[in-house]
C-alpha cells in the first residue's frame, strides 16, 4: 500500500467531514450562526448554517408591551411605550416565523416566537382601540 492509497482510505472513512456538513464560523457567517444546520428534509439547502432563534427576545418584548398596558389605563404616556413595543414584537416575530418556515432559522423557537408575536399584536391593537375611544370621547365632549 502506497502513501497515496493511505490518504484515499483516510478521506473515505466515516469520521471524515462530508460535503454538506456544518459550516464553520470562519465562512463569513454571523457568530453563533454555524451551530445549527438545516435538516435533511430540506435537500436544496442541506449543510447551510442557519441563525439561532430569537424567540426569547420576541417573547420578552411582547410581555413588556402587555405589561405597559396596565398603567396605560391610568396614564396615557405609557401608550407611547406599549404601542412601539407591541409593533416591534409583531414585526420581528413575523419575520422570524417566516425565516423558521423557510429553513433560515432554528425551528425550536417557533412556539415562543409565535406567543411573543401574538402578545405584541394584542398590545398594539388594544392601544389602537384605546386611542380611538379617547378620540371619540374627546370629540363628543368638544361637540357638547
Q: What tens digit of pLDDT does each residue of 21-40 get?
A: 444 444 455 555 544 444 44
Residue 117 has pLDDT above 90, yes or no: yes
Domain ranges of the chain: 1-50, 53-144
pTM for this structure? 0.64
State the average pLDDT over residues 120-134.
Answer: 91
- Say what the pLDDT of residue 52 is: 87
Q: What tens digit of pLDDT does each residue of 46-92 get?
A: 556 788 889 999 999 999 999 988 776 667 767 788 999 999 999 99
The owner of cell 484515499 is 8
Amino acid at each position: 500500500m502506497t502513501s497515496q492509497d493511505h490518504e484515499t482510505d483516510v478521506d473515505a472513512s466515516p469520521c471524515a467531514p462530508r460535503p454538506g456538513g456544518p459550516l464553520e464560523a470562519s465562512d463569513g457567517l454571523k457568530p453563533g450562526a454555524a451551530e445549527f444546520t438545516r435538516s435533511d428534509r430540506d435537500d436544496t439547502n442541506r449543510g447551510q448554517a442557519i441563525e439561532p432563534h430569537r424567540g426569547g427576545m420576541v417573547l420578552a418584548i411582547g410581555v413588556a408591551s402587555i405589561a405597559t398596558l396596565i398603567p396605560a389605563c391610568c396614564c396615557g404616556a405609557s401608550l407611547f411605550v406599549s404601542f412601539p413595543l407591541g409593533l416591534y414584537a409583531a414585526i420581528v416575530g413575523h419575520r422570524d416565523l417566516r425565516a423558521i418556515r423557510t429553513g433560515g432559522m432554528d425551528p425550536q423557537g417557533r412556539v415562543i416566537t409565535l406567543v411573543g408575536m401574538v402578545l405584541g399584536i394584542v398590545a398594539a391593537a388594544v392601544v389602537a382601540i384605546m386611542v380611538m375611544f379617547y378620540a371619540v370621547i374627546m370629540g363628543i365632549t368638544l361637540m357638547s
